[in-house]
Amino acid sequence: MENLTVIKVGGKVVEDENSLQKLLADFNAIKGLKVLIHGGGNIDTALADKMGLQVEMVNGRRVTSAEMLNIVVMVYGGLVNKKVVAGLQALGCNALGLTGADLNIIRAVKRPVKEVDYGFVGDVISVNTDALAKLLSHGFIPVIAPLTHDLNGQMLNTNADDITNAVAKALSRHFQVKLVFCFDKKGVLKNVNDEKSLISKITKDEFINLANKQVINAGMIPKLENGFASLESGVKQVFITDVNGIGKENPGGTELVK
C-alpha cells in the first residue's frame, strides 16, 4: 500500500499568518499522498461576539445553535478553507477545498440529546473513501473543513479531530497512514504553561490516568481520544506536535503508542 500523510491543523495555527505560511510551505514539501484537515480558530468566536451570540463549550466541544451554525459554515467552509487552498495553490500544490457535503465526503447525524444538547453538531457515520482515493489518485490534495452533512440538506458543525479520526481510519484500508495533529503547543504537556513538560510517548492507559487527574483536559482530550481510536483501527502512526513537526519524517512532539 502507498504511504499517505494526514495532517490535522488547529485553528490557532491557521489564524497566525507566520505559522500559517510555515504550515503551508512544510505541508507542500511533504512527499507522496497527503490530506489536510483544518479547524477554524477564534475567527468564528470573534464574529459571534460582534453579533451578540454567546459561545458555549462543554468538555472541549462546541455547542452549536442555528445562528452559530451559520457562522461556522461561513468561516470554516468559506474564509478559512479558501485561504488555505489559495495559499497552497500559490506554492504549486493542487489543493481542493471540501466540506463533508462536497462529493458526499463525510456524512453525519445530528448528535442525540443526552446530558448535553450540543445543537447542530454532527457525529460522523460514514466517509466516502472511494471519492477521496480517486481525488488522491488524480493528484488532487483534499483540504477538508470541519463541516459535515446529514444527506437531508442539513449542514452540521463537527469537531475537526472527530473528522480527522474518521478520515484517517477510512483511508487506512487503502493506504499506510501517518496521522499528525498539529496545534500551537509542542505536544501533550504535563503543565500546559511549560513546554519542557512534554510527554514524548504516551499510551492509552497513561492518557486515561492523566485525564482522571485533570492533568490533561479541555481540547486535548478529543485529540487523544481520536488519536488512540485511529491507532486501534489501522492507522500506523499518530503524533501530536506543533507546526515545526510538519513535513518531518519524525514529527517529534508526542507519539501515541499502543
- What CATH code is carried by the domain that includes residue 57? 3.40.1160.10
Q: Whole-angstrom Cα distance, residue 1 to residue 59?
A: 37
Give pTM, 2 decimals: 0.92
Tell me which residue range forms the domain holding 151: 3-256
pLDDT of residue 16: 85
pLDDT of 60 reads 63
Q: Cell 519542557 belongs to which residue?
A: 196
How many structural domains compose the chain? 1
Place of cell 505541508: 27
3-state secondary structure the chain: CCEEEEEEECHHHHHCHHHHHHHHHHHHHCCCEEEEEECCCCHHHHHHHHCCCCCEEECCEEEECHHHHHHHHHHHHHHHHHHHHHHHHHCCCCEEEECCCHHHCEEEEECCCCCCCCECEEEEEEECHHHHHHHHHCCCEEEECCEEECCCCCEEECCHHHHHHHHHHHHCCCCEEEEEEECCCCCCECCCCCHHHECCEECHHHHHHHHHCCCCCCCHHHHHHHHHHHHCCCCCEEEEECHHHCCCCCCCCEEECC
Q: pLDDT at position 47, please? A: 85
- CA-to-CA dists, residue 195 to 173, 208, 257, angstroms: 35, 21, 21
Residues in the chain, pLDDT under 70 = 60
Q: What pLDDT is stored for residue 53 in this prediction?
A: 85
Question: What is residue 170's predicted lDDT score, i.e. its pLDDT?
Answer: 96
Q: Which residue shows C-alpha cell 491557521?
A: 14
